[in-house]
Amino acid sequence: MTKITASAIFFLLLFSRFLGDGVSLEMEVPDTVQAGTEFPVFITLNKSNIEGFARFSQDLPYGLSAAAEPGLPGEFLYEDNKVKVIWLSLPPEEKIQLKYKISVVEYVKGSFTLEGKFAYIENNERKILEIPPRKIYIRPSPGVDPSKITDIQEYGQLIARQEIPAQQTPAKAEPEKEPTLSASSSVSRVENVYHGNAMCLRQHPEKGSDNGISGYRVNLLIHKGTMDKYAKIEEYIPEGYTAMALETQTGLFTFEDGVAKFMYLKLPEKSDFIISYLLVPVNAPTGKEPVIDGAISYVIKDKTYTSKIIECSEDLASLDREGINRLLATVNKKTVPAEITRTPSVLTTQKGKTGSGSSYAARTYSAEKKKYPYLRRHLESYESYLLEPEEGVYFRIQIAAGHTPINVKTYFRKMHITENIRIEKHEGWYKYSVGSFKDYKSARDYRVKIWNNTLAKDAFITAYHNGKRITVQEALMITNQPWVK
């Protein structure tokens, strides 16, 4: 795929949007592009004095894909036709500039719109700044038979009907995401005991309000026990409700895809603390109280545990030290139900499937040999490349992914990659990665080496915990490592 440069053929347009708090977002893109090429996108964020967690996102239509340019500030992800740049903590500079490239397949033509959103937290309130949509025209590729060219809008519809594959190339980098949790998620077994005398209790939701917004107040009591610095609380909110933070105790609160999440890089010093959120009905059924499931993930001596949050009827905010001790002692004597109706993301390997490592992958390949006889010669060789699980947290470099298997030796030899390649089947993708690193900086340096010496220009870092994929952000939190540009 060839690059295009600015010329008289098209011109760059500048779009911006401002909020009253001084935060602004600008996007610079070409007005016209040619199929079979790639074009640059420049995003300029003037963040004013905001800090902490933030995220930029941009949806792309089918037929387009994105890759970061080296040196992009923040963690760049491209998944499910969505560009994401995530910051656990925004850089101190007031102006942040993002540059990435968007590739256009050679079989499309027509117009599409490009926009973007910047989400951030200010005064415990989630705010969103949007870039107005802008139409970009794709000129047909002169080297492609016109009868094989499809309008980009129809191209997406054909993929949705599975009349053409989602990707024209045999393998494409497809970044890792934190698995989403939906009402259809399979039941997962979570530990029915707490470790290190740690515990999380939920007070039964009670009707309340905040700043004129009515809903159900939910209090959570966290008893640290011997927890180390990192902890994550996930509350799985029933359909028809949204959630807003009331008390975070210095934690980061987010609500997305039906999950209210509190994350701590460093837990408060107190042995017990209370956090809370407001459950706000949006389209909830009347006459029924909300039922909430939840789990807490925490670290003790470099090992991560996930346990169910226990609901009680006590007024947690009114308890003194003696009352908390009495409640904890009472709960410890009871059996905690082991099943929750949604899966904590830290434990997820594949939606609806259990198992990890080479044994699960081998079963998957065996089944696909029968389903796709014409792929058998590739699948048989795959078993020698299967990714084996390792202990603890570690990082790898993903170099490609595809929905169908390829000849590993031939394909990656053409990309000038001679490293020890390993394969895993994850969320419907064959994913190819190299290297294994305990510290993020070493992984970052190796990724740069891949960028500089091979054709895998969109290689990126993935993270694992005991053989299971997790987000890079979560891996950094668990290991207390800094993010390195």
Report d(CA 308, CA 321) in Å as an integer: 23
Q: What is the pLDDT along the chain (485 residues), one digit of tens a residue?
A: 444 443 333 333 444 444 446 788 899 999 999 998 999 999 999 988 888 778 899 999 888 888 888 888 888 888 778 898 888 778 888 899 999 999 998 888 999 999 999 988 777 677 888 888 889 999 998 888 888 788 888 876 665 544 444 443 333 444 433 332 222 222 233 455 567 778 899 999 999 888 778 899 999 999 988 887 678 899 999 988 989 889 998 887 888 778 898 988 778 888 999 999 999 888 888 878 899 989 888 888 767 788 889 999 899 999 998 988 888 888 765 544 444 444 444 333 233 333 334 444 444 445 554 544 444 444 445 667 888 888 889 999 999 887 777 778 778 888 888 888 999 888 778 889 999 999 999 999 999 999 888 888 888 999 998 888 888 877 887 777 777 66
| Residue whose C-alpha is closest to residue 107's, from 53, 149, 157 | 149
All domains in the chain, ordered by first residue: 2-160 (2.60.40.10), 188-347 (2.60.40.290), 357-479 (3.30.70.1070)
Apex CA 442: angle with CA 405 and CA 470, to 5°? 55
pTM score? 0.41
Report d(CA 35, CA 480) in Å as an integer: 44
For residue 257, give every residue at least 6 positions away whose Cβ sits within 8 Å of its Cβ, in sequence order, or none: 180, 181, 182
| Residue whose C-alpha is closest to residue 235's, from 215, 219, 251 | 219
Q: Is 327 helix (H, G, I), strand (E, B) or coil?
A: helix
- Find out whether 200 and 220 touch, Cβ atoms under 8 Å: yes
Q: CA torsion angle for 392, 396, 401, 405 (degrees, to 10)? A: -70
Q: Which residues pair with 304 in a beta bridge?
A: 299
Report d(CA 397, CA 375) in Å as an integer: 26
- Find out whether 454 and 441 touch, Cβ atoms under 8 Å: no
- Find out whether 57 and 130 touch, Cβ atoms under 8 Å: no
- Find out whether 243 and 260 touch, Cβ atoms under 8 Å: yes
For residue 482, give every residue at least 6 positions away whose Cβ sits within 8 Å of its Cβ, in sequence order, or none: 440, 476
Q: What angle do the packed helices 472-479 and 440-453 form, to 10 degrees?
A: 140
Ordered DSSP codes for 71-112: T-SSEEEEETTEEEEEESS--S-SEEEEEEEEEE-TTEEEEE
| Residue 79: alpha-carbon gap to chain centroid | 8
Q: Is 376 helix (H, G, I), strand (E, B) or coil?
A: helix
Report d(CA 146, CA 159) in Å as an integer: 19
